[in-house]
Every structure is written in structure tokens, then in C-alpha cells.
């Protein structure tokens, strides 16, 4: 079973941003209402046990657009945390 995440990508003319090539999304089951990604960098989030990682390749045409990402449900009937980061 999948769910959809629809983030807005950065515009191509954003100050300090150009040539973003990859969007990384991580997800993990939440317990107790605590977001396990809070305060973590993406490398730290990727290192957590049980994390599911989805890499999406970006093109110039994606700049400023919404991107639909299919993400598996990892906690059916419960809460699931997400974090995302772009890289060049």
C-alpha cells in the first residue's frame, strides 16, 4: 500500500539554489507522537534503523513544480514521519 507525498520543488531562480539533481525522502514509523527526524541532518536520518529511503531524480523542468512521490505505508493504522532534502 502506498501513499502520495507532493512537495513543491525550489524555483530555478531561487537565490543560492541551482542545479538540484536529487530529492531524497526518508520515512519511518512513529511511536508515541515523537518525530524521530526532528533535529537530524539527512545523513543522520538515513542512518536510523528502519528508515525507508526514496531517491527521486530531478530535472530543470521540475523547478518550481510539485512532484508526486509514491511512498509505501510503513505503519498502517499509525503515524509515519517524513523528511526530505535536495542535493546537486
Tens digits of per-residue pLDDT, 2-43?
666 666 666 665 655 556 788 899 999 998 888 999 999 999
Of the two residues 61 and 75, the one the predictor is more confident about is: 75
Question: What does each C-alpha distance from 54 to 4, 14, 16, 27, 71 come to in angstroms?
Answer: 12, 24, 25, 8, 8
Q: What is the pLDDT of residue 81?
A: 92
φ/ψ region of 61 (left if φ > 0, alpha if ψ in -120 to 50, else beta) reads alpha
- pLDDT at 56 exceeding the cut of 70: yes
* % residues pLDDT > 90 (the chain): 36
Amino acid at each position: 500500500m502506498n501513499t502520495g507525498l507532493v512537495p513543491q520543488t525550489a524555483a530555478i531562480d531561487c537565490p543560492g539554489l541551482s542545479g538540484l539533481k536529487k530529492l531524497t525522502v526518508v520515512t519511518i514509523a512513529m511511536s508515541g507522537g515523537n518525530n524521530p527526524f526532528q533535529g537530524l541532518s539527512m545523513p543522520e536520518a538515513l542512518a536510523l534503523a528502519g528508515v525507508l529511503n526514496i531517491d527521486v531524480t530531478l530535472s530543470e523542468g521540475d523547478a518550481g513544480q510539485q512532484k508526486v512521490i509514491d511512498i509505501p505505508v510503513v505503519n498502517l493504522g499509525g503515524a509515519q514521519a517524513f523528511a526530505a532534502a535536495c542535493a546537486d
